[in-house]
Amino acid sequence: MKEIRFSEHSQIKIELLANHGLTIEPEFIIDVVRSPDRLEPGEEDKQIAQKRLDETRVLRVVYREFNAFILIITLYPGRRSRYEKN
């Protein structure tokens, strides 16, 4: 399996979310990338992986895959009602 790296921006987002009462462990973020509930293409060769966070929210992780590693660019919670439409 490829190494997963966190960009500086994604690390700041993890801290920011924790400061707002939403603690997300790096292991969960890695799990979202490795086994998402949903995967969709983003812009400029990015991918958006999504996994249920709780009853009302999902976590969306934007990343780019390189030959040697995967770089997590950013992440954000979203409403399930918005992102789980078929």
CB 59 within 8 A of CB 30: no
Start-to-end Cα distance in the chain? 30
Q: What pLDDT does 33 receive? A: 98
Does some domain include residue 84? Answer: no
Does some domain include residue 34? Answer: yes
Q: What pLDDT does 86 receive? A: 61
Q: What is the spatial order of strands in the sheet that 46-52 belongs to?
A: 3-6, 69-79, 57-65, 46-52, 38-41
pTM score, whole prediction: 0.94
The CATH number for 73's domain is 3.30.2310.20
Q: 65 or 85: which carries more pLDDT confidence?
A: 65
| pLDDT, tens digit, 9 for 90 and up, residues 15-67 | 999 999 999 999 999 999 999 999 999 999 999 999 999 999 999 999 999 99
Q: Would you give the distance in Å from CA 29 to the centre of its chain?
A: 6
Domain that holds residue 15: 3-78
Q: What pLDDT does 84 receive? A: 83
